[in-house]
């Protein structure tokens, strides 16, 4: 029997697919009156801005500067800014990336490490410097938050609020991954080089650095897969910006210059005093937003559930099925992200039929059908095959729903109460997952009801041969 695993797919812990990324400054600020002058910036942010001003990165005429916003810190327009107008330009010498680490005092011991680990060690070393051990990077490090609302920073009690969710499984997997990487780099790099790392470095320090990179690093840039851009990373996310126009790029500093600059643009017009915002990533689910940044959206299509399907190693037709799967762009273990209110992914039903294929339908696995079998799997194969996939998926959905500690109705009631931000995220995540599971179950419930109405392979084959009449009856020819 084929194996169906209704489990989560753990995302690549180092998939820095994000756009920009600030989250929350340590302390939350609230502006009580729109007409009142903006609250003063914390001293650390003022020092940071002065440093950038002294270095000619910004000036009093810059289109935007740091400001206190609902999220904590953000970029606020000092004047009206037009669509696609440049907001900030940051020279390469102020970026933090693996090249920065290589040129630093710890560069020689970080050679060969994974890029994110070397940058994480750099951030930690800068953070732990003694006050009399000056480094210009201290101006930037001092404005970084000690934590965000990302689930990697949640307490055990807070994590219990997402019990049963795929987000909890993913969060625990990511934290375990970071822990294993920390133990390895501690043994191989940190402890043997105490002169370079005089202050004790803990797992919490490493998780902090990972969280900073996960939430603030820019990626998908020309020649840069992981880079922190001071000041630019204060840009916040807006769900109302629905076009993922690239609001930033790396370009040459001038016609005759080899230097590079990071250029940040506003994707929409912004009035003076308003916050400059971008769209981080249209493709991220609420679970990914919560894991990476510590926020979610109320948008329905941010709610997804990952269904994992697998061709069992013990399947007698494993080799044939794997060959067919790989030929058609799938694998022995295949993940399908299902979004609330949207149709099933195009390859999901053919893959399900392939996994469940057996018995009298196994002839489709013969080599003579190899070039056409996927086309046959695009449509129902047999009643037995279709019934199996409906029953197994529905059973998996009901099993997953039973693992949550609350019902959708209970979650709805809790949303109106006095709850903190993390509990609010937890409620939305578990409610969203349950709604998607209900959506999946509903799709296969309808398919189950229509089993007698489908046209299956044998019927299609007879029709192609002209052996089925207009009423669906089989035509027989008797010899004269």
Between residues 330 and 255, the one the model is more confident about = 330
Whether residue 349 sits in one domain with residue 269: no
Q: Name the average pLDDT for the chain.
A: 89
Looking up residue 421, the CATH number of its domain turns out to be: 3.90.1420.10
Q: What percent of the chain has pLDDT over 70?
A: 86
Whether residue 418 sits in one domain with residue 364: yes
Q: What is the pLDDT of residue 252?
A: 76
Over range 218-247, report the average pLDDT: 84
Q: What is the pLDDT of residue 10?
A: 44
Q: Which of 292, 316, 332 is the last residue of a domain?
A: 292
Whether residue 336 sits in one domain with residue 365: yes
Q: What is the pLDDT of residue 2?
A: 35
Banded pLDDT at 134 (limits 50, 70, 90): confident
Structural domain including 361 reads 303-464
Provide the domain count of the chain.
Answer: 2
In a domain, 179, yes or no: yes
Output the known binding site for S-adenosyl-L-methionine: 71-73, 216, 236-237
In a domain, 48, yes or no: yes
Whether residue 166 sits in one domain with residue 142: yes
Whether residue 337 sits in one domain with residue 268: no
Over range 114-142, report the average pLDDT: 94
Whether residue 278 sits in one domain with residue 313: no
Q: Which of 263, 292, 321 is the last residue of a domain?
A: 292
Task: State yes or no: pLDDT of 146 exceeds 80.
Answer: yes
Looking up residue 270, the CATH number of its domain turns out to be: 3.90.1410.10
The catalytic residue among 280, 305, 351, 457 is: 280
280 is catalytic: yes
Whether residue 120 sits in one domain with residue 235: yes
Q: What is the pLDDT of residue 20?
A: 33
Output the known binding site for substrate: 216, 220, 233, 248, 280, 293
In a domain, 29, yes or no: no
Task: State yes or no: pLDDT of 458 exceeds 60.
Answer: yes
Whether residue 390 sits in one domain with residue 251: no
Task: State yes or no: pLDDT of 208 exceeds 90.
Answer: yes
Task: State yes or no: pLDDT of 8 exceeds 80.
Answer: no
Output the known binding site: 71-73, 216, 220, 233, 236-237, 248, 280, 293
Q: Which of 271, 292, 313 is the last residue of a domain?
A: 292
Indicate the pTM of the whole model.
Answer: 0.87
In a domain, 155, yes or no: yes
Task: State yes or no: pLDDT of 355 exceeds 80.
Answer: yes
Residue 274 token pair: 């308003």
Q: What is the pLDDT of residue 133?
A: 85
Where b means 16+ CB within 10 Å and e means fewer, 197-236 reads beeebeeebbbbbbbbbbbbbbeebeebebbbbbbbbbbb
Q: Of 145-154, 350-359, 394-403, 413-422, give the lowest mean pLDDT range.
A: 413-422
In a domain, 470, yes or no: no
Task: State yes or no: pLDDT of 206 exceeds 70.
Answer: yes
Whether residue 239 sits in one domain with residue 113: yes
In a domain, 419, yes or no: yes
In a domain, 136, yes or no: yes
Task: State yes or no: pLDDT of 60 exceeds 60.
Answer: yes
Q: What percent of the chain has pLDDT over 90?
A: 79
Whether residue 245 sits in one domain with residue 133: yes
Whether residue 166 sits in one domain with residue 120: yes
Task: State yes or no: pLDDT of 375 exceeds 50.
Answer: yes
In a domain, 219, yes or no: yes
Q: What is the pLDDT of residue 470?
A: 60
Whether residue 318 sits in one domain with residue 263: no
**pLDDT tens-digit map of 399-420:** 999 999 999 999 999 987 889 9
Q: What is the pLDDT of residue 471?
A: 56
């Amino acid at each position: 029997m084929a194996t169906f695993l209704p489990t989560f797919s753990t995302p690549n812990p180092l998939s820095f697919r994000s756009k920009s990324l600030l989250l929350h400054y340590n302390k939350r600020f609230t502006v009580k009156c729109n007409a009142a002058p903006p609250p003063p910036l914390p001293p650390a942010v003022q020092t940071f801005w002065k440093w950038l001003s002294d270095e000619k990165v910004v000036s009093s005429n810059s289109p935007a500067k740091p400001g206190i916003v609902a999220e904590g810190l953000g970029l606020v327009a000092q004047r009206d800014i037009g669509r696609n107008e440049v907001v900030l330009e940051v020279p390469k010498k102020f970026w933090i990336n693996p090249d920065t680490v290589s040129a630093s005092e710890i560069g020689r011991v970080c050679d060969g490490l994974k890029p994110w680990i070397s940058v994480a060690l750099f951030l930690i070393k800068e953070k732990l410097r003694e006050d009399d051990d000056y480094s210009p990077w201290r101006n930037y490090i001092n404005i970084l938050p000690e934590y965000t609302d990302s689930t990697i920073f949640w307490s055990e009690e807070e994590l219990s609020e997402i019990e049963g969710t795929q987000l909890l499984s993913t969060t625990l997997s990511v934290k375990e991954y970071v822990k294993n990487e920390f133990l390895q780099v501690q043994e191989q790099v940190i402890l043997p080089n105490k002169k370079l790392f005089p202050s004790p470095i803990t797992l919490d320090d490493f998780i902090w650095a990972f969280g900073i990179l996960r939430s603030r690093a820019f990626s998908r840039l020309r020649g840069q897969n992981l880079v922190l851009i001071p000041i630019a990373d204060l840009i916040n996310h807006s769900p109302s910006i629905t076009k993922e126009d690239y609001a930033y790029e790396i370009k040459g500093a001038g016609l005759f210059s080899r230097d590079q600059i990071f250029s940040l643009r506003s994707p929409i017009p912004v009035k003076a005093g308003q916050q400059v915002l971008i769209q981080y990533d249209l493709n991220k689910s609420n679970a990914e937003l919560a894991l990476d940044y510590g926020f979610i959206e109320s948008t329905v299509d941010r709610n997804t559930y990952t269904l994992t399907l697998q061709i069992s190693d013990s399947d007698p037709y494993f080799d044939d099925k794997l060959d067919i799967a790989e030929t058609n762009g799938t694998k022995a273990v295949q993940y399908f992200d299902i979004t609330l209110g949207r149709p099933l992914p195009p390859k999901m039903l053919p893959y399900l039929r392939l996994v469940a294929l057996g018995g009298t339908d196994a002839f489709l696995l013969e080599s003579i059908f190899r070039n056409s079998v996927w086309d046959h799997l695009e449509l129902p194969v047999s009643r037995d095959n279709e019934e199996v996939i409906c029953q197994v998926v529905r059973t998996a959905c009901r099993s997953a729903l039973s693992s949550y500690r609350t019902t959708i109705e209970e979650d709805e009631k809790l949303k109106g109460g006095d709850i903190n931000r993390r509990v609010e995220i937890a409620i939305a995540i578990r409610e969203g997952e349950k709604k998607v599971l209900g959506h999946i179950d509903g799709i296969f419930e309808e398919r189950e009801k229509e089993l007698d109405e489908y046209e299956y392979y044998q019927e299609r084959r007879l029709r192609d041969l002209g052996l089925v009449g207009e009423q669906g009856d089989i035509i027989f020819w008797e010899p004269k």
